[in-house]
Amino acid sequence: MQIFQYSLRRLLYLIPVMLGVSFLVFFLFNVVAGDPTPLLLGKNASAAQVAELREQLGLNKSFLAQYLDIVKSAFTFDFGRSWATQQQISDIISQRAWPSLTLTLPAFLISSILSILISLVVSFYRGKGLDISIRVLCIALMSISSLVYIIIGQKFLAAEWELFEISGYEEGFPYFVPYIILPVIIWVVLSLGPDIRFFRTVILDEVYQDYVRTARAKGLSEKVIFLRHVLRNAMVPMITYFVIQLPFLIMGSLLLENYFDIPGLGSEVVRAANSNDFPVLKAFSILFSVAYIVFNLITDILYAVVDPRIKLQ
């Protein structure tokens, strides 16, 4: 009952937050960006063509009316049509969400599991050669640009050695699998460095707590202490770290989708930005804000599930 009341109260907080997000989106795209008709029609367009296009796009309305349209779309998820393709934006999102998830979800799961396992090992052998070597490797992985991994992967692993597909995508399982293997590997390599460093710090913060000394005094083995006590108490910051990344998974990976020609949400954002397709950019801005708020609510609820000492208020 407490969780239900807390969730309902937080969902009501969504209303003023979405009003604020809608205003920021309106200010950026309708006020700061200015009139997009010269970009869409070109410099040689006549005044009649500009006026006609402004009427079609709803730009001849007052600023208040345009703002109310954005507010309405934020609560109904009816974002209208793309300026570039004239396709319903809701259809674009539904079509491109699956290719994004086929890339981001397995990559996220693999990198998360590997990071936690490696972090537990290096924390168990803290201060020793294995721990120092992996920390140095993490820093090295983080110091290299993501573009370097993409270029090396496509040039050597895909083009020259022919171990993976260079780019492309096919709908349906298992046809898309060969096309996502290399992007998933690159995602995992990019994620391991920061993830391991973060999880190692979180785990070591728990290792030096008083309850761990008490458990050792009772004769519990280090493995039991790590798996039953340390890992469970470290789950609260880990949950925060994981859940905050989930909206990015849903919205896709801009760089990987663009370079590997995967028709996901990330590549759609790049296309919309290149073609000044403001309705699509507005829709993605609002959707990301909603997803971020909802997943923050889920994070707070999971806190209470993992650690009963945390009270939802």
More confident residue, 304 or 111: 111
Q: How many CB atoms lie within 10 A of CB 292?
A: 17
Tell me the three state secondary structure of residue 59. coil
* Mean of pLDDT over the chain: 86
What pLDDT was estimated at residue 306?
Answer: 64
What pLDDT was estimated at residue 104?
Answer: 93
What pLDDT was estimated at residue 304?
Answer: 66
What pLDDT was estimated at residue 305?
Answer: 67
Confidence bin at 308 (pLDDT 50/70/90)? low
Q: Does residue 73 carry a pLDDT above 90?
A: no
| Architecture of the structural domain at 100-276 | Orthogonal Bundle (1.10)
- Angle, helix 177-207 to helix 231-251, in steps of 10 degrees: 150
User: Where along the chain do its domains lie?
Assistant: 2-76, 100-276
What pLDDT was estimated at residue 242?
Answer: 85
